[in-house]
Amino acid sequence: METIRAYEVTEKILVSYAPATGEEVWRGPHGDVDAVVSRARRAWPAWAALALGNRIEIARRFANEVRADAERLADLIASEAGKPVWEARTEVDAVINKIDISVQAYAERTGKKKLDSALQGSAAVRHKPHGVMAVLGPYNFPAHLPNGHMIPALIAGNIVVFKPSEKTPGVGEALVECWKRSGAPEDTVQIVNGGPEEGKALVAHPGVDGVLFTGSAQAGIAINRKLAANPGKMVALEMGGNNPIVVVDTPKMSDAAALVIQSAFTTAGQRCTAARRLIVIDSVYDALMAELVPMARRLLVGDPFAEPQPFMGPVIDNDIADRLSESFLALLTAGGKALLHMRKTDPDRPFLTPGIIDTTAIADRPDVELFGPILQVIRVPDLDAGIAEANNTRFGLSASLIGGSPDDYGRFWANIRAGIINWNRPTNGASSSAPFGGIGLSGNHRPAAYYAADYCAYPVASTEMDQPRANIGVGLKE
């Protein structure tokens, strides 16, 4: 059986492959971390000194370059990341829309403040950029998620060194090419392709002032541990989740099932906000399963460029597909009951059908993020038990309540431990106009998206007078 890999490293040459076909997508050398960071440090003073309006104008020109190249970029995302073209296009749109959102957020979150203080002069609050920011991107949203760090960092006056996932270097390079065409000064945005070694070198490099990371909890914890003795380096961690979606009484069971499908299986379950656990009260279990299982069975899984367009493409590679299959089998062995078996539709390619498994009978359910199309179902007697079960995790990214009354949602919102809490909406698809982030193993309390401005510049408090004016009124010798 041929192994389809998402990337291959040979003699410091990185190669990425399309998960749907196994064809080579991109090939290039590993980056030189020391050389890139050195150029970034030299470029920073001029970029930071550039007027804010000029930095914003360059960011808008970047958006125009992305807009002009939108179809090619969407095709590249679909090919290299394996997501359907319709979804890849929404990702490109999100990259473009991030500019205006970040400009507004910077003005609101880091705007200048000045307070008169009579004889004491005036007090001012302004913000300054950190310096060189390393952005480490994931493969599931290879353009949108790193861009969500890069745009706020650049507007604030930082230089960006971007390391894409080794599984999607082609998309990362295309994004940086758009920056180069925008007219940004040389070395303002640079790319370092490579594998874990390059990522570790960037994190530890003394010339890097901040690390903006999106990825797994395991990698995020390693970054946090590495920098624990260096409090001066800004660290923003966006990590995964074992996200719950809780369903209680509702007259719209078909709609509830559709929301569960969207939450669990969009992007083949490869979203940090995807629903991993479906928690259902006993009174609606049968009715929900009667809608959910047939609906999931109808989902089209196929090539990203197929017509009609599939709901799901492949997962990123065969290694991940095999691990997910093993996880599904392990849950069955531990006492789970398959409601919809997950299947690999092609022995040579990582296409997985949705899997739904009732794990109520498993005493010690593993609290892990199964990053793919596996949904665990857990039965509970009532909403309070559902809330307790939803909180039975070390993660805390996203949670949704489906059905119930406003009072039910109020109780749910007040008691759920998560950074994103929704009602009658999916767990995923968060808006960039709102903060985004989680607690516990999901992140370090630095919400991204709209609040990214908070970690891209630091506040400076000043008291100021036009002329020195002071006297010592006590404690002087006669």
- Please pick, among 166, 198, 238, 389, the residue that the annotation labels catalytic: 238
Inter-axis angle of helices 406-415 and 383-390, nearest 10: 30
- Catalytic (active site) residue 456: no
Cβ-contact 389, 290 below 8 angstroms: no
CA dist 92 and 74 (Å) reads: 6
List the Cα angle 75/77/79 in 5-degree steps: 65
Name the token pair of 137: 């991107």
177 is catalytic: no
Which token pair is 134?
């390393």
Say if CB 217 and CB 240 are below 8 A apart: yes
* 301 secondary structure, DSSP code: B
Strands 435-436 and 448-449, bridge-based pairing: antiparallel
The residue from 272, 291, 389, 456 that is catalytic is 272
Tell me the Cα Rg of the chain. 24
CB atoms within 10 A of CB 107: 14
Residues contacting residue 2 through CB under 8 Å, at least 6 positions apart: 22, 348
Check residue 467 and report its DSSP letter. S
Give the span between the Cα atoms of 204 and 269, in whole angstroms. Answer: 32
Please identify every residue annotated as catalytic: 238, 272
